[in-house]
Amino acid sequence: MTPTLLGTAALALLLAMVLGGARPRLWLGLNSLGALAGLGAALVVLVSGHGLTWRGDFVLGGENVVLLLDAISALFLVLVCLVGGLGAVYAMEYWSDHHFPRSAPRGRVWWSALVLSMGLVLTCGNGLHFLFVWEAFALSAYFLITLDNDRAEVRRAGWLYLAASHAGTMALFAFFSALAAGTGSWELGPMHAHPGLAPLFWLALFGFGVKAGIFPLHIWLPSAHAGAPSHVSAIMSAVAIKMGVYGIVRFSGWLPIPDGAGWAVLGIGCASALLGIVFAMAQNDLKRLLAYCSVENVGIIMIGLGLALLAAAHGHPVWGQAALAGAFLHVLNHGLFKSLLFFGAGSVLHATGTRDMSRLGGLWQAMPWTAALFALGAAAVSGLPPLNGFVSEWAIYQGLLRAVIEKGQTFGVLPAVIVLAGTGALALAAFAKAAAVVFLGAPRGRTALQAAECGWAMRLPMIVPAVVMVCIGLMPGLFLRPVQGAIAAWAPRWAATDPLIPARALGGTHTVLACVLAAAAFLILRKVRANGTRRAMTWDCGYAAPTPHMQYTSGSFAGIVSGWFAWIVRPEKRTRRVRGHFPESALALERIPETVLEKGIGPAARTVLLLADAAKNMQHGRLHLYILYVFLGVTALGLLAVQGGM
């Protein structure tokens, strides 16, 4: 059944690519069919626990085609198909032919290409073919990011993405070639029999880490996610960066692991989580905020994975499993709430035309659906019970705390607990800011006044993830069981131990909590209505004429935290005060630079260019000087040879 479903999915997506450009409805049908079939295949594998290995008869590039679908790839495939299907529905209204006659057909073709290539990345069992489909995936993502290529900002973001992505791909070329040289075959699978391959893990960590957006390698992520159309941002943030996570997870399971890899991954995870959310908090652009939050969530996943690697190295299956279960579930959870949040941000952008939070506000009145769903997503991403974000963070915490209380060699994970706690509180601050500044209070600009709610084609893709999120929160056991299969695929020797995650107790508590919350909300609304209400202007300690400009803005809300982290966030402020006899109007502007790119890589690249420019002076076309170069070179070589000979 699984091969049939996978075949249907591939065929439908291929047809959607070919036929979808001109016929939007046909494309939607084919794309949805492909996504549903892929989802079905993934769910069959997850529920039955039986993976699929399919060896094709035909040869491509000198290698037999091999398809693998085990529980790990099935878990990621669920995400690809879910967001791939929902995003297409969203695009029908958000990026319609009516509004974008030139780019919409192109967008449809590349969308299906992206979904198909990501599906192939997950199922590919041959290193050579993996590189092909990986490149196809990177390129289709590039064309989707630059869909709106009339804007210079978008072209720059696309270029940066392409450059960063190929830096990673270069490492992957080296990685897969060395792998094939080491094992003597391009076929992928467990390689624990070759301990000499262990150093290759670092190459994989870099190559896949660029795609995953772990901290110093995340430079392409904010501008690409902010500049792309919102359905593309959603699939990039929720799914495409997970392909990088998939690569790291996959090869950390298959490769022999070098000493210290667990600590390194844990450290990278802590840095990504903490700095990602600090940068998110400081942003004034709604979609950039969400993009940095993805860095944070990948960091949380890496904390779980790093702990699992440590557990594997020191032989502690119990907390290793808890941490890995948390990491896998967080992959799914982040995909769900991040797609919901990006769809919500897109709906705001669609209605108001701006992503700048300082110009938004009070949108709940015009857009109640978007506001409620975005608030739910914000609560989930902050890890608040009884929603799904808490479940996965809680499982990772379980692993961390168990590692600490054993007081063994792994006591050093203690700072990670404190970092995770700080990250949780910072995420709450960042999303309290995002949701409240955009949707509550009074509109801060004219654009926000004219907003209107989005249609059902944009609403439905937000409702579906919201429902799944609530289900994961209330029934964590149901979703942790398939995750167990993925753990068994990652570390087969752990399959026999019980992870000791009391999911039933948590699910029960969450269900009771949700019921009581709903009852309390209903009762207080009734009570307030019974007591009588009166609408009046905001009292605010007796302000006579409050204006929207008096409200706290996103920058002022984040002021305390960005002050603490000014050493890395480095906000650039420009203010003009009302001074003198003929003053200009007052002004306060704040820009949050991407520190790693603008203060680290940018200056380094400029230095290289300067040096290259200087080297150009040696190329002047004067023959006698060239002869001098040759003479000096030969003399130097000769001297070297004589020295070496002695």
Partner 1 sequence: MSVFIDTSLRLLAWLILAPLLPGVINKVKAWVAGRQGPPVLQLYYDLARLWRKGVVISTLASPGFIIAPAVAWVAVIGAAALLPLAGADAPVSFDGDVLLLVYLLALARFCTAWGAMETGSAFEGMGAAREVSYAILAEVGIITAILTLAVQSGSISLSSMFEPLPGPSAALLAVGLFIILLAENCRVPFDDPNTHLELTMIHEVMVLDHSGPPLAMILHGASVKLMLFAVFLAQAVLPLSEVPLVMSLALLALAVLLVAVAVGLVESLTARLAFRRVPLLLTIGFLFCLFPLLLTWMGEI
For residues 429-488, which are near partner 1 according to CB under 8 A? Answer: 429, 432-433, 435-437, 440-442
Rounded Cα–Cα distance for residues 123 and 113 (Å):
15
Task: Please select the residue that binds partner 1; options are 60, 96, 182, 411, rule is CB under 8 A.
Answer: 411
Rounded Cα–Cα distance for residues 322 and 396 (Å):
6
Q: Return the number of the residue (247 or 361) whose C-beta is nearest partner 1.
A: 361
* Shortest Cβ 305–partner 1 spacing (Å): 19
> What DSSP state is assigned to residue 52?
E
Q: How many residues bind partner 1 (CB under 8 A)?
A: 81
Applying the rule CB under 8 A, the residues between 90 and 119 that interact with partner 1 are none
| Nearest Cα to Cα of residue 315 among 397, 403, 246 | 403
Task: Please select the residue that binds partner 1; options are 190, 408, 546, 638, rule is CB under 8 A.
Answer: 546
Task: Please select the residue that binds partner 1; options are 428, 449, 457, 601, rule is CB under 8 A.
Answer: 428
User: Which element (helix H / strand E) includes 285?
Assistant: none
Is 588 an interacting residue with respect to partner 1 (CB under 8 A)? no
Query: Helix H segments across 95-199?
Result: 103-123, 127-145, 152-183
Rounded Cα–Cα distance for residues 400 and 423 (Å):
15
Is 513 an interacting residue with respect to partner 1 (CB under 8 A)? yes
* Shortest Cβ 221–partner 1 spacing (Å): 24
CB 75 within 8 A of CB 483: yes
Rounded Cα–Cα distance for residues 341 and 430 (Å):
13
What's the full length of the chain, in residues?
Answer: 646
* Shortest Cβ 556–partner 1 spacing (Å): 7
Sole window of 16-24, 221-229, 540-548, 611-619 interacting with partner 1 (rule: CB under 8 A): 540-548
Q: Return the number of the residue (552 or 629) whose C-beta is nearest partner 1.
A: 552
* Type of residue numbered 552: Y
Site string for partner 1, 242-281 (x = CB under 8 A): ----------------------------------------
| Nearest Cα to Cα of residue 76 among 483, 494, 475, 381 | 483
* CB atoms inside a 10 Å sphere around CB 603: 10
Long-range interactions of 515-521: CB distance < 8 A, separation 24+: 517/386
Is 418 an interacting residue with respect to partner 1 (CB under 8 A)? yes
SS3 229: coil
Q: Return the number of the residue (425 or 604) whose C-beta is nearest partner 1.
A: 425
Task: Please select the residue that binds partner 1; options are 25, 98, 446, 534, rule is CB under 8 A.
Answer: 534
* Shortest Cβ 532–partner 1 spacing (Å): 4
Task: Please select the residue that binds partner 1; options are 152, 181, 193, 537, rule is CB under 8 A.
Answer: 537
* Shortest Cβ 527–partner 1 spacing (Å): 5
CB 597 within 8 A of CB 219: yes
Q: Return the number of the residue (246 or 439) whose C-beta is nearest partner 1.
A: 439
Q: Return the number of the residue (35 or 379) whose C-beta is nearest partner 1.
A: 379
> What DSSP state is assigned to residue 443?
-
Rounded Cα–Cα distance for residues 51 and 71 (Å):
6
Is 627 an interacting residue with respect to partner 1 (CB under 8 A)? no
* Shortest Cβ 417–partner 1 spacing (Å): 6
Applying the rule CB under 8 A, the residues between 343 and 402 that interact with partner 1 are 361-362, 364-365, 368, 371, 375, 379, 382-385, 390, 394, 397-398, 401-402
Applying the rule CB under 8 A, the residues between 314 and 333 that interact with partner 1 are none
Task: Please select the residue that binds partner 1; options are 456, 552, 626, 631, rule is CB under 8 A.
Answer: 552
Q: Is the peptide bond prior to 386 cis by the omega test (within 30 degrees of 0)?
A: yes
Task: Please select the residue that binds partner 1; options are 446, 527, 579, 620, rule is CB under 8 A.
Answer: 527
Sole window of 28-36, 47-55, 453-461, 518-526 interacting with partner 1 (rule: CB under 8 A): 518-526
Q: Return the number of the residue (29 or 559) whose C-beta is nearest partner 1.
A: 559
* Shortest Cβ 497–partner 1 spacing (Å): 15
Rounded Cα–Cα distance for residues 233 and 291 (Å):
8
Task: Please select the residue that binds partner 1; options are 523, 587, 604, 627, rule is CB under 8 A.
Answer: 523
DSSP calls for 301-328: HHHHHHHHHHHHHHT-HHHHHHHHHHHH
Task: Please select the residue that binds partner 1; options are 28, 325, 561, 569, rule is CB under 8 A.
Answer: 561
Q: Return the number of the residue (22 or 523) whose C-beta is nearest partner 1.
A: 523
Q: Return the number of the residue (277 or 488) whose C-beta is nearest partner 1.
A: 277
> What DSSP state is assigned to residue 406?
T
For 75, the token pair is 């878990």
CB 124 within 8 A of CB 39: no
Rounded Cα–Cα distance for residues 457 and 469 (Å):
20
Applying the rule CB under 8 A, the residues between 171 and 210 that interact with partner 1 are none
| Nearest Cα to Cα of residue 212 among 143, 305, 124 | 305
